[in-house]
Structure 1
Amino acid sequence: MLIADYLHKNLVLPDLAAVAKSEALTELVEPLKSEFPDLDLANALQVLLEREQLGTTGIGDGVAIPHGKLVGLDRIILVVGRSRRGVRFESLDGKTCTIFFLVLAPEQAAGMHLRILAHISKLLKDEGFRRSFLEAEGRDELYTLLKTL
């Protein structure tokens, strides 16, 4: 499984401006309109916010993996973002989040959805990868790093 199979270069956001959770989710969802014009962005955002109400997806070490399932979606979509200053995301360790992997999946793709979340989680436990991610220069370098995973 490769992250690049689910990622468009335009969905790599190297400099998130958000400082709070809802702002970050909105900013991560926004570029989907250019790649997936038929996607209901308001619904996608609502699904993500509802998932956050169940428990934060800020897993610690500066990482958040917001995710949700959408009715009518026909493929898994990944959006990757980075915040230089950190986002208050109610993370489990109380720290701000700087690395974001947003996953949207079709409602019927439970198995694949869980495999992708596990794959991303495993990658992000690697301190060397997190450091490379945070040090990458701009979208091109981030995308190149992600294409190899």
Structure 2
Amino acid sequence: MKLGEYLDKTMILPELTASTKEEVLAELVAPVIAACPQLDAESVVNVLRERESLGTTGIGDGIAIPHGKLDNLDRIILVAGRSTGGVDFEALDFKLCTIFFLVLAPEQVAGMHLRILAQISRLLKDPEFRSSFLSAPDADVLWHLLNNA
């Protein structure tokens, strides 16, 4: 399985402007709403907030993987974002997060949802991959990196 199968180039945000967890969630959701107008931004952010209330998705090493399931989604959607300044995402290691992956899945595909989360986690455990992600000069290079991952 390759992440590129679930990631559209328009869902790559090479420089997040958000400075808070709430703003990051909203910024990550924005391209999803543009691509899927049947979704309501506030409802999607609420699903993500509910998941965050169970425990942070800031997993450490500068990485956060907010995720959730939606009734009215027909496919898995990934959004990749980067914040060069870092954002306090209440990560388990208390460090600022710079790498963000948003995973939204239809309610009925839990197995694939979990496999994608595991694939993202495996990729991001590799310090070389993280370094390449953080140093990519633009969305095109990020797309190439993620499409081949």
User: Is TM (by shorter chain) over 0.5?
Assistant: yes
Matched length: 149
Q: Which residue identity lines up with residue 106 of structure 1 in the other structure? A: P
Runs of 4+ in 1 over 3 A off after TM superposition: none
- The superposition leaves residues 54-111 of structure 1 with CA deviations (integer Å, 9 ceiling, x where unpaired) of 1000000000000000012111000000000001100000000000010000111110
Using the aligned pairs only, state the percent identity. Answer: 62
Query: Does the alignment pair 1:110 with 2:110?
Result: yes
SS in 1 for 2:15: coil
Structure 1 portions without partners, runs of 5+: none
Structure 1 residue aligned with 2:142: 142
- The superposition leaves residues 3-46 of structure 1 with CA deviations (integer Å, 9 ceiling, x where unpaired) of 01111111100000111111100000011122112222221111
Q: Which residue identity lines up with residue 122 of structure 1 in the other structure? A: R
Structure 2 portions without partners, runs of 5+: none
Listed as ranges, the matches of 1:28-67 within 5 Å are 28-67=28-67
Structure 2 residue aligned with 1:98: 98
In 2, the alpha carbon distance for the partners of 1:134 and 1:18 equals: 17
Q: Which residue identity lines up with residue 37 of structure 1 in the other structure? A: P
Q: Structure 2-normalised TM-score?
A: 0.98
Structure 2 residue aligned with 1:81: 81
In 2, the alpha carbon distance for the partners of 1:108 and 1:146 equals: 25
Q: Structure 1-normalised TM-score?
A: 0.98
